């Protein structure tokens, strides 16, 4: 409460705020809030002569009296400002005004078609529905004409004089009452008409209702500033004429080629023909039919091919055509294509897909991020739904749950179709070579479907570098004692297969997956395992291959050799000597059984990023410093034995230090890394060559 000496206003709202704050503090502190008193003291200011301080007067008001004093008001608005917001804020692209007006015209034709089912006499003067565009460059106006149901005077005033009132909504509500839902109209919000003011400074509407026998219609005129006029139009025919007096800088919409382009883009598949009048001739500029609405058995392969080229802006043939109708909680039709050639923009950073979204055959957008996941962005085609509600600008979907159902159905159906196609390896290889890298993004981004996606993945391996292999095949031929799935990442399969990291695997004929896509650095850790077998990198440290049975026979003796033990007893001394010299650049030095031919290699610890990932990040300037690695040495190699002897004799010698640094550079080169100091490497090699240092071959 404010003290009696307070000079100012104290309202019931002030008390309510204080009461809520006290209640909040009591809840936080655990205290008990005392109940409200029936009479609340308020302090209100009285009017005082100018220059004198206001006097506070205690005025008792009960809660009931305060509530009885409540008054109700309506919001006041500046209609011209509201219309300006509707025109300029709802739409991000001016050219969609034509889509909105054509959609309204198509709705008017559909409404008359329905009414004429019980009143066929309404069509006696003109039974063929159409929409006509009439550009007039001399007068600077564009006219959109339809021979639909038209409007009466009252409908004209109500529908065009009230923002966000839609005659289509009222008509659809009446159909719902009559339980007749098989009707195809898109106008729902009653603001699409006002998009005309984005390009026109004056709009005329001349209309006559189909049932009207008076012989005249009505003219509605507005400049979009908040007022409009209505008068009789004695010569009006059935339907509606919308006349746009275009702004000076919007005269380009009178060009026939531009009108054709807009109709093709947004209204090509509405059921009503759209005609363009030039002089005394009229030309149909839309297809007036949607291929996806026809039964599949009525569509030829050539028609599918031409439609794919139209929506995909491509010249190849589709590798896969998927045409189906989804039913259930939401009905939709999908006509999807997989290209046979990889699009040039497949790996752009925005990762946009190219599926055209239609609602009741009217094009809405090609940029609906929620329609399909990014890992299916290679798909082309259309999705059309009767049930998707849009916002008033028709550019953003209103209810994501319905869109999520469509998305789920599209993904599920496509993966099922892809599974069938994967049974033919030669044909499936075409798809995988083009889009496998994108599909694998789903392993990282869509854990819900990872089991379905991984079953569709194919890989090159060390045993089959030229053929694609599934993980099911890999697991089916794993060695006795092998409990893990091994893989290695890099830029090229040919380089990977010769990697020193795989020497031990080659010796035991253990199959290793060759992963060459950037996404391969991420998904193995995300999915963790396949069929209970953990995925492990062959380039990680601490691999134990001893438990895996070696079935490789010696080509000369026919026996299976045992693992050769190191003969150098002083190998531990070499390891310690190398650690002292290389401690600034490596994490550790260890003896390895993975190496059979090379003297050294660099490996990553289990929780460190891989060598390949580090190289990728450095190339894109995402990291500056290198991660210290583990240097593994081959104790059976002649070079390592010789260095072990040198370390035992004189590990402080300059020759030994130079040899140790040269050994590390050699490991870097084998790993396709850039040397930090190429000139120092060249100097060491030159010095060794000059001194004629000779190294005995291993064995």
526 and 672 inside one domain:
no
120 plus 263 within the same structural domain: yes
Contacts of residue 533, defined as CB under 8 A and 6 or more positions apart, other chains included, come to 475, 478, 483, 484, 485
pLDDT digits (tens, 9 = 90+) for 515-562: 999 999 999 999 999 999 999 999 988 787 877 766 555 545 444 444
State whether 278 and 302 are in the same domain. Answer: no
CATH label of the domain that carries residue 207: 3.30.565.10
| Chosen domain end from 402, 435, 468 | 435
Q: Say yes or no to pLDDT of 167 above 50.
A: no
Q: Span 450-462, mean pLDDT?
A: 96
CATH number at residue 371: 3.30.230.80
Buried b or exposed e, range 542-567, using 16+ CB within 10 angstroms: ebebeebebeeeeeeeeeeeeeeebe
In a domain, 2, yes or no: no
pLDDT surpasses 80 at 512: yes
Q: What is the mean pLDDT of residues 38-62?
A: 43
* Residue 383 forms part of a structural domain: yes
Domain termination site, one of 217, 252, 284: 284
What total number of domains does the chain contain?
A: 5
Task: Tell me which range, 57-61, 375-379, 652-656, is most confidently predicted by mean pLDDT.
Answer: 375-379
Q: What is the CATH number of the domain that holds 593?
A: 1.20.120.790
Six token digits for residue 236: 């009006």
Question: Do 425 and 301 reside in the same domain of the chain?
Answer: yes
List pLDDT tens digits, range 339-370. 999 988 788 877 788 899 988 888 888 888 88
Same structural domain for residues 128 and 258?
A: yes
Helix (H, G, I), strand (E, B) or coil at 590: strand
- 56-88 confidence digits (pLDDT tens): 444 444 545 444 556 766 555 455 666 676 666
Tell me which residue range forms the domain holding 37.
12-68
- Last-in-domain residue among 262, 284, 306: 284
Query: Is the pLDDT higher at 15 or at 269?
Result: 269
Are the beta carbons of 362 and 103 closer than 8 angstroms? yes
Task: Tell me, yes or no, whether 540 lies in a domain.
Answer: yes
Reading phi first (left if > 0) and then psi (alpha if -120 to 50, else beta), residue 140 is in left
In this predicted structure, the answer to whether residue 276 has a pLDDT above a threshold of 90 is: yes
If asked whether residues 428 and 491 sit together in one domain, one would say no
Residue carrying the six token digits 């000079």: 7
- Structure-block tokens of residue 136: 């007039």
Residue 629 pLDDT greater than 50, yes or no: yes
In a domain, 440, yes or no: no
SS3 586: strand
Statement to judge: residues 421 and 321 lie in one domain: yes
Q: Which of 602, 591, 606 is nearest to 484 (CA)?
A: 606
- Whether pLDDT at 407 is above 60: yes
Instruction: Looking at the structure, tell me whether residues 138 and 229 fall in a common domain.
Output: yes
SS3 track for 95-130: HHHHHHHHHHHHHHHHHHHHHCCCCHHHHCCCCCCC
| Distance of alpha carbon 133 from alpha carbon 259, whole angstroms | 8
Say whether both 507 and 406 belong to one domain: no
Residue 478 belongs to some domain of the structure: yes
Same domain, 166 and 188: yes
SS3 state of residue 619: helix
pLDDT value for 401: 82
- Judge whether residue 53 has pLDDT over 60: no
Q: Which of 368-382, 441-455, 607-621 has the lowest mean pLDDT?
A: 607-621
Based on the fold, state whether residues 510 and 578 are members of the same structural domain.
no
- Give the 3-state secondary structure of residue 620: coil
Residue at 6 is within a domain: no
Q: Are 98 and 259 in contact (CB under 8 A)?
A: yes
CATH number, position 546: 3.40.50.11260
Q: Judge whether 43 lies within some domain.
A: yes
633 belongs to a structural domain: yes
What's residue 12's pLDDT? 36
- As a whole number, mean pLDDT of residues 360-387 equals 89
> What secondary structure letter does DSSP report for 69?
T
Average pLDDT over residues 86-114: 83
- Tell me the torsion sign for CA atoms 432, 438, 444, 446: negative
What dihedral angle (degrees, nearest 10) is formed by the CA atoms of 185, 189, 195, 201?
120
pLDDT, tens only, 3-18: 444 444 444 334 334 4
Task: List, edge to edge, every strand of the sheet that includes 629-633.
Answer: 586-591, 629-633, 600-603
**What per-residue string of b and e applies to 350-384 under the rule 16 or more CB within 10 Å gives b?**
eeebbbbbbbbbbbbbeebeebbbebbbbbbbbbb
What CA–CA distance (Å, rounded) separates 549 from 567?
23
pLDDT at 57: 42
- Lowest mean pLDDT across 200-204, 260-264, 645-649: 645-649
Question: What DSSP string describes 635-695?
Answer: TTSHHHHHHHHHHHHHTTSHHHHHHHHHHHHHHHHHTTPPPS-HHHHHHHHHHHHHHT---
- pLDDT at res. 30: 47
Residues 327, 253 share a domain: no
């Amino acid at each position: 409460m404010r003290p009696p000496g307070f000079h100012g206003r104290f309202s019931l709202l002030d008390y309510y705020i204080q009461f809520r704050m006290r209640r909040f503090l009591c809840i936080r502190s655990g205290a008990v809030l005392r109940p409200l008193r029936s009479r609340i003291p308020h302090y209100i200011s009285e009017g005082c002569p100018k220059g004198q301080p206001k006097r506070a007067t205690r005025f008792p008001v009960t809660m009931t009296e305060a509530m009885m004093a409540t008054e109700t008001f309506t919001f006041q608005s500046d209609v011209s400002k509201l219309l300006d917001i509707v025109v300029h804020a709802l739409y991000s692209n001016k050219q969609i005004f034509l889509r909105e007006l054509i959609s309204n015209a198509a709705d008017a034709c559909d409404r008359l078609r329905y009414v004429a089912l019980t009143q066929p006499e309404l069509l006696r003067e003109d039974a063929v529905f159409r929409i006509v565009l009439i550009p007039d460059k001399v007068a600077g106006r564009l006219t959109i004409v339809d021979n639909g149901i038209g409007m009466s005077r009252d409908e004209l005033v109500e529908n065009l004089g009230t923002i966000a009132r839609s005659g289509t909504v009222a008509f659809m509500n009446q159909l719902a009452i009559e339980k007749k839902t098989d009707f195809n109209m898109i106008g729902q919000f009653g603001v699409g008409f006002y998009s005309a003011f984005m390009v026109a400074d004056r709009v005329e509407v001349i209309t006559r209702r189909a049932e009207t026998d008076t012989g005249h219609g009505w003219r509605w005129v507005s400049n979009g500033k908040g007022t409009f006029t209505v008068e009789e139009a004695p010569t009006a025919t059935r339907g509606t004429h919308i006349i746009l007096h275009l702004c000076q800088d919007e005269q380009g919409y009178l060009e026939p080629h531009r009108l054709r382009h807009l109709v093709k883009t947004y209204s090509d598949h509405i059921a009503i023909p759209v005609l363009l009048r030039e002089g005394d001739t009229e030309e149909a500029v839309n297809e007036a039919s949607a291929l996806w609405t026809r039964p599949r058995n009525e569509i030829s392969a050539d028609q599918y091919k031409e439609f794919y080229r139209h929506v995909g802006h491509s010249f190849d043939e589709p590798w896969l055509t998927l045409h189906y109708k989804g039913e259930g909680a939401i009905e939709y039709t999908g006509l999807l294509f997989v290209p046979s050639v990889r699009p040039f923009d497949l790996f752009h950073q925005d990762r946009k897909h190219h599926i055209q979204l239609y609602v009741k055959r009217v094009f809405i957008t090609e940029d609906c991020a929620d329609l399909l996941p990014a890992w299916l962005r290679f798909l082309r085609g259309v999705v059309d739904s009767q049930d998707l509600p849009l916002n008033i600008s028709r550019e953003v979907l209103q209810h994501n749950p319905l869109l999520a159902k469509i998305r789920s159905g599209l993904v599920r159906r496509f993966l099922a179709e892809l599974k069938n196609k994967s049974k033919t390896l030669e044909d499936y290889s075409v798809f995988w070579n083009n889009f496998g890298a994108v599909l694998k993004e789903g392993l990282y981004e869509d854990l819900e479907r990872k089991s379905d996606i991984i079953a569709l993945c194919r890989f090159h391996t060390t045993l089959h570098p030229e053929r694609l292999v599934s993980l099911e095949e890999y697991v089916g031929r794993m060695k006795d004692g092998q409990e893990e799935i091994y893989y290695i990442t890099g830029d090229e399969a040919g380089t990977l297969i010769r990697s020193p990291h795989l020497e031990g695997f080659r010796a035991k004929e253990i199959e290793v997956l060759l992963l060459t896509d950037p996404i391969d650095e991420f998904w193995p850790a995300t999915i963790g395992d396949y069929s209970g077998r953990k995925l492990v990198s062959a380039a990680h440290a601490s691999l134990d291959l001893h438990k895996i049975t070696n079935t490789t026979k010696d080509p000369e003796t026919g026996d299976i050799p045992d693992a050769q033990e190191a003969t150098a007893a002083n190998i531990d001394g070499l390891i310690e000597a190398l650690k002292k010299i290389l401690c600034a650049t490596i994490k550790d030095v260890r003896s390895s059984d993975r190496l059979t031919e090379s003297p050294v290699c660099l490996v990553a610890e289990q929780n460190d990023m891989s060598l390949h990932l580090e190289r990728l990040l450095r190339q894109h300037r995402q990291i500056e410093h290198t991660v210290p690695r583990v240097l593994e040495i081959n104790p059976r190699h002649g070079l390592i034995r010789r260095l072990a002897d040198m370390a035992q004799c004189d590990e402080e010698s300059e020759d030994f230090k130079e040899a140790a640094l040269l050994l590390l550079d050699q490991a870097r080169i084998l790993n396709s890394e850039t040397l930090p100091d190429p000139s120092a490497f060249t100097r060491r090699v030159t010095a060794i060559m000059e001194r004629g240092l000779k190294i005995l071959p291993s064995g």
